[in-house]
Amino acid sequence: MPAQIAAAVPALPALDIGFPEQVLIVTSAFCFKPIQMALSFLLVIALRRQRARDLSLIRNGLLFLFLGEAFCAIDYYTASWLSEPLDFLHGAGMVAMSALLPFGLFTLLDDRVLHFSDEDAACAVNRLCKRCWKREDVTCAPHRLFFFVGPALAVLGLIPLTLPFDQSSLVYCVYGTRLSHHGNAWRQLLEFRIYPLVGAAALLATWIFLLQGRRGLAWAKRLFFAGFGFVTYSLFRFFLYRTFLPNPGWSGVWEETTELLAVAGVGALLWVFRRPLGLIRPKPAEG
């Protein structure tokens, strides 16, 4: 802990947390985070030779998750979460992950199951639409749905703008070590002001390409998931931060737990469908 923070600690309000909470804080920081980072790195290695668009997006999303968490760990061990450049790199990695990983999962579902973007494949949603843009001069119903989904997410993404910055400061002890919480104005400006506005702008900009019909679909999807990454990361951090403001240790616990479950969920998906996805060689036919 830097000397200037250590000197200020005795003057800050002290938060008394119980022993079970201390165990969970330490477990999430020194167990969940390393496991999550190791698992994401192993998945990146496992997908390194994959050239399919969906698996490449998933691999890159996991790579940015690993890099973001690595910067977070370096920031904690070297600067007690006070390095603004490292904090920015952590957030940038998580925003990229929040965009690329959902984009990859969506592309996997579309390319391999639904086929509503592939002009040459039968669309699984056609039983609802009856008429299809692949055979007739009509617009695509799922494409039209995004005219609502994009602006709706843009509006919800503005939620962090409705509360003022947190300026509280307190300390709490974990296994005899004093940790401090400070309302960081720079971090809140980035995550609760700039990210929501950038995300909302990207989501609204999808209209420009959706109005072009099938010609603009590829760019509309890219913009949608870019905005989705900014908005969801901002909302995720905002709700954890504000919910556990009276006890900030829980924010870290649930952040690490959620990220571990997300990586484990992707790993489970890839393992269960490893044969259809071509992640292992098929068994040679006997005889």
What distance lies between CA 12 and its chain's CA centroid?
33
Q: How confident is the model at residue 7 (pLDDT cuts 50, 70, 90)?
A: very low
For the cut 60, the answer to whether the pLDDT of residue 104 exceeds it is yes
Q: How confident is the model at residue 255 (pLDDT cuts 50, 70, 90)?
A: very high
| pTM for this entry | 0.88
For the cut 90, the answer to whether the pLDDT of residue 107 exceeds it is yes
For the cut 60, the answer to whether the pLDDT of residue 3 exceeds it is no
What pLDDT score does 9 carry?
43
Residue-number span of the structural domain to which 268 is assigned? 15-272
Q: Tell how strand 14-15 and strand 169-174 pair up.
A: parallel
In a domain, 105, yes or no: yes
In a domain, 148, yes or no: yes
What's the whole-number mean pLDDT along residues 143-172? Answer: 91
Q: How confident is the model at residue 253 (pLDDT cuts 50, 70, 90)?
A: very high
In a domain, 279, yes or no: no
Q: What are the b/e assignments for 193-216, b being 16+ CB within 10 Å?
A: eebbbbbbebbbbbbebbeeeeeb
What's the whole-number mean pLDDT along residues 113-137? Answer: 79
Q: What is the rounded CA–CA span in Å between residue 223 and residue 76?
A: 33
Q: What is the rounded CA–CA span in Å between residue 77 and residue 73?
A: 6
Structural domains counted in the chain:
1
Helix (H) or strand (E) holding 15, with range, is strand 14-15
What pLDDT score does 6 carry?
42
φ, ψ at 233 (rounded to 5°): -65, -40
Indicate the average pLDDT of the chain: 88
Contacts of 214 (CB under 8 A, 6+ apart): 119, 133, 140, 143
Give the lowest-confidence range in 86-95, 179-188, 217-226. 179-188
Q: How confident is the model at residue 283 (pLDDT cuts 50, 70, 90)?
A: low
φ, ψ at 109 (rounded to 5°): -65, -40
Per-residue model confidence as pLDDT tens digits over 188-210 = 999 999 999 999 999 999 999 98
Alpha carbons within 13 A on the beta-carbon side of 41: 11
Q: Which two tokens stand for residue 254?
A: 């649930």
In a domain, 1, yes or no: no
What pLDDT score does 10 carry?
47
For the cut 80, the answer to whether the pLDDT of residue 100 exceeds it is yes
For the cut 80, the answer to whether the pLDDT of residue 179 exceeds it is no
More reliable by pLDDT, 212 or 66: 66
In a domain, 8, yes or no: no
In a domain, 277, yes or no: no
Q: How confident is the model at residue 8 (pLDDT cuts 50, 70, 90)?
A: very low
In a domain, 9, yes or no: no
Per-residue model confidence as pLDDT tens digits over 23-54 = 999 999 899 999 999 999 999 999 999 999 99
For the cut 60, the answer to whether the pLDDT of residue 5 exceeds it is no
Q: How confident is the model at residue 64 (pLDDT cuts 50, 70, 90)?
A: very high
Contacts of 283 (CB under 8 A, 6+ apart): none
In a domain, 6, yes or no: no
